[in-house]
Each structure stands twice: as C-alpha cells, then as structure tokens.
Amino acid sequence: MDKINLLSDDLLLQILSLVPTKDVIMAASCVSKRWWSLCSLVTRLEYDDSNYYNSDSADYKSFTQFVYRTLMSNKAPALEKLHLNLGPKCHAVDVGIWIDIAVSHRVRELKVKIRLESGSPPVSLPSSLFTCETLENLTLIHCLVSDVPCCLPFLKSLRLEYVSNASLPKLLQGSPNLQSLRMLVENKEHGEEDITIALPRLQYLYFWDAREKMKSGVYVIEAPRLE
C-alpha cells in the first residue's frame, strides 16, 4: 500500500477506473482520505445488481442507496461511462434519476441493460437522455425509447436490443453522425408503413428482425458509406 501511495493522482485514477465501482468504494473505506477524495473523481462507473436478485428489500435498498450516493457525490468534470445492469427489483423512477444525473455530468458512454421478468413492460427512459450533447456511445437493452424530441449530435455508436421500436425512427434521425448501428427488433409497433431512414455517416450496420414473416412495416436504411 505504501508503494501505491507514491503514485500520482492521475495514475491512481486510471487504476481506479478499471475496478468495479463497488470494489473501489470498499477499498477506499479501508485506507486514507486521499483515496476517498480520488473516488469522487472516478470517471467510469458500473453498477450491477445481479448479486441482489434473491436478496430481501432491505438489502436491495442498500444497493440503490449506494448508487445514489456515489453518483451524486461524483465530482469528475465529465463521466467517461456509466453502465447499469439492473434486474426486475429496480424501480423505473430510480433508473430515470440515475440517467438524469449522468447526463448532468456530461456522460460520454451509457449502457442500460434491464433484465426483465417474463411479461414485464420495458423501462421508460427520461427525455434528458435523448438530448444529451456529450453522448458518443449508447447501448439500450430491454428499454422503452420515449416518444420525445431527439438530438444526439455527437453519438457515433448505437446498440439497441429488444427496445420498444415505436420511436426508433426519431432516435435514428436525431443522430446525424452515427457511424455504427447494431439493432435487434422484436416488437412491431410502428404500423404497416415502411420507414426510410438516412444515415449518411453510417459505416457499420447489424440488423436482426425477430418478427416472423413481416412483409410490411420494414426499415429501409440509406447508408452510402457502409463498409
């Protein structure tokens, strides 16, 4: 530990950013105030509630409080990334607030994966996400794309899996600099009309449609730079 303390703050921050968020906080609680201060500057945050799947409500509440505490106390100029891997115990209102906080912290990479129980509706995301001017990489799994204005001017990579697709055209059209798109479509919600979307800077496309024998309501993606 003495040798580690000789390292510069910048190097220590790089090391802390490679460690799961919960482990960072637990380690910092056992060492000096300097480490506590550095924890509030970590730019890469990951939260996973998998270990709380069979826990009681009190234990899960401690997880949500931990997320709130570490997110709200973060003092980094910008968040490099926020990853949320959440199960059915997580409340949609909490997810929305956490994303709002990340947007206010100028997040650049956001991944939201919701592990739904069979028959459960997808989690709706806050409107602030779809006008985040700093977002460059976005992954949404089992989420609801809100029917709100969308403007993501710096978004370069988008991955969508099993999201509600009623508002996907608006999301894609609001991402003019998109270069990579990975999309898995399952539900048919935008009607019978075909939808044409122009993505002039798109270079990579993976599209999988799980809807069986659909001859209408298809996506037509115009991408002249596709490699």
DSSP code per residue over 135-181: --EEEEESEE--SS----TT--EEEEES-B-TTHHHHHHT-TT--EE
Mean pLDDT of 108-112: 98
174: left (phi over 0), alpha (psi -120 to 50) or beta: alpha
Structural domain includes residue 35: no
Q: Say if residue 7's pLDDT is above 90.
A: no
Asked if residues 196 and 169 have their Cβ atoms less than 8 Å apart, the reply is: no
Structural domain includes residue 23: no
Give the other-Cβ count within 10 Å of 205's Cβ. Answer: 15
Asked if residues 57 and 95 have their Cβ atoms less than 8 Å apart, the reply is: no
Instruction: Give the ranges where 128-223 is alpha helix by DSSP (H).
Output: 168-173
With residue 2 as reference, give the H or E element that holds it. Answer: helix 2-5
Rounded Cα gap, residues 42 and 224, in angstroms: 39
- By residue range, what is the domain housing residue 178? 43-222
Asked if residues 138 and 110 have their Cβ atoms less than 8 Å apart, the reply is: yes
Rg (CA), the chain: 20
Mean pLDDT of 40-55: 85
Mean pLDDT of 48-74: 86
The mean predicted confidence, pLDDT, of the chain is 81
Q: Say if residue 29's pLDDT is above 50.
A: no
Structural domain includes residue 64: yes
Structural domain includes residue 133: yes
Q: Say if residue 21's pLDDT is above 80.
A: no
pLDDT > 70: percent of the chain = 74
Q: Say if residue 176's pLDDT is above 60.
A: yes
Mean pLDDT of 54-77: 87
Residue type at 8 in one-letter notation: S
What is the number of structural domains in the chain? Answer: 1
Rounded Cα gap, residues 107 and 99, in angstroms: 9
Residue type at 1 in one-letter notation: M
pLDDT in tens, 83-101: 999 998 999 999 999 999 9
The β-bridge partners of 82 are 45, 110
Structural domain includes residue 21: no
Q: Say if residue 108's pLDDT is above 90.
A: yes
Q: Say if residue 188's pLDDT is above 90.
A: no
Structural domain includes residue 112: yes
For 109, how many CA atoms within 13 A lie in the half-sphere containing its CB?
A: 8
- Closest of 218, 213, 210 to residue 192, by C-alpha: 218
Structural domain includes residue 62: yes
Q: Say if residue 174's pLDDT is above 50.
A: yes
Asked if residues 108 and 79 have their Cβ atoms less than 8 Å apart, the reply is: yes
Structural domain includes residue 97: yes
Q: Say if residue 28's pLDDT is above 50.
A: no
Residue type at 13 in one-letter notation: L
pLDDT value at residue 25: 47
